[in-house]
Structure 1
Amino acid sequence: MGRKVSFTKDEFVLRLNGLLSVFALKWQLRIPYKAIKRVYIDEFDPPMWMLKMPGTAIAPLNIFEGSFKFGNEWYFISCEHNVPLVHLEVDGFGKYKYIIFEMENPRAVMIELRKKLRELDE
């Protein structure tokens, strides 16, 4: 899989490798923990009228990479399978409101991220 995550002292880092970074036109997102308002795992079915700006979307193959806009909200989506995905709801992180991505073990990522967010509150 072409995604890696890391947890620094102050931010969550999502790195896209290989073709994923080309399709998404982005190779990493560095998200401050204080900008993350919610993290959960769920499936995601992008609306057909979601605009890619810029990004790559091949809906029949469930491939979505890059920036998308739906209504007045911006999404960063990185997935190529119809599986449960990690969802981050963010506030104060550039234009994005939602960051949704596929990982081999989404539960482990969610648990570690929630742990970091709890430490921030203490």
Structure 2
Amino acid sequence: MENKVSLIGNKLVVVPQGINKVFAVKGRLEIPLLNIEGATIDNGILNEFRGLKAPGTSIPGFYAGTFRKNNEKTFFNIRRTSMAVVIQLRNEKYTRLVLGVEDGRKLVDEINNVIKI
């Protein structure tokens, strides 16, 4: 598992696990639920050009850290073999998060249900 993701109070909390903290150059992300537009599963995003990494890691089959493309910043922490959870953000440092988690479909449903309130 690359990330532990929790909904705590009015925030989404992402904690990279194990060595991924080092590769992602990020120990924790906290995003207010008000700044989440939605979440989807999109494995195709792993086939697209991610942009320039700054800072981060990009080795075949594993992407972690900040990637910049078209004046947008995306945080990746995922292995190619994982289901890609994409969380769209607004008014945040990142435009989106692309994460590998234990149960991606459950997380997507949970996020989308909470932000509808």
**TM-score scaled by structure 1?**
0.88
Question: What is the CA–CA distance in structure 2 between the aligned matches of 1:112 and 1:55, rounded to whole Å?
Answer: 28
**Matched residues, number:** 115
Superimposed CA distance per residue, residues 63-119 of structure 1 (whole angstroms, 9 cap, x where no aligned partner):
10000001211100010124431101101112x111110112100001111121022
Question: What is the CA–CA distance in structure 2 between the aligned matches of 1:18 and 1:53, rounded to whole Å?
Answer: 21
Secondary structure in 2 matching 1:18? coil
Question: What is the CA–CA distance in structure 2 between the aligned matches of 1:20 and 1:33, rounded to whole Å?
Answer: 24
Superposed CA RMSD: 1.3
Deviation above 2 Å: which 4+ runs of structure 1? Answer: 81-84
Map 1:23-38 → 2, pairs under 5 A: 23-38=23-38
- Name structure 1 gaps, 5 residues minimum: none
Counterpart of 2:5? 5
